[in-house]
Amino acid sequence: MATLTLIATITLVYSFIGMGVILFRKIPVLVELSEVVERPRKENLIFVLKQKVKEIEFFKNFSYEIFLQKLLSKIRILTLKTENRTSTLLQKLREKQKEKKIIEDDNYWEEIKKSTKKRE
């Protein structure tokens, strides 16, 4: 346990020394930098594309909210159709299971008759 603590302490000390060396080397470069770096302002590619799309006649009156409403309505309808189809399939499976159970119940009495005949 003591060796692990020693190794961890040595690693911590060397890490701080390494960070100090890096900081010491970069201080002159940081001093030479100006406070505010002025970059030439480029227009965002997405902003430019949005502006070009808005210039097209079809998209001038385009509303994202109406588009989203229509999309969500279609998704809801699809979900309801899927749920209805699933419900129908589930009902059919239950009916088949009931039929199988009825057939098994009918066979039950026949098996009892056969077993009593074998005893005689």
**Domain regions of the chain by residue span:** 1-34, 63-120
Per residue in 39-49, is it b (16+ CB within 10 Å) or e — as a string?
A: eeeeeeeeeee
User: How sure is the predictor about 69, in pLDDT bands with cuts at 50, 70 and 90?
Assistant: very high
> For residue range 17-65, what is the model confidence (pLDDT) as tens digits?
999 999 999 988 888 877 775 666 666 778 788 778 778 777 777 778 8
User: How sure is the predictor about 67, in pLDDT bands with cuts at 50, 70 and 90?
Assistant: confident
Phi, psi torsion values for 39, nearest 5 degrees: -105, 145
Whether the Cβ atoms of residue 54 and residue 60 lie closer than 8 Å to each other:
yes
DSSP 60: T
Summary mean pLDDT of the chain: 84
Q: Give the mean pLDDT of 105-111.
A: 72
The more confidently predicted of residues 14 and 103 is: 14
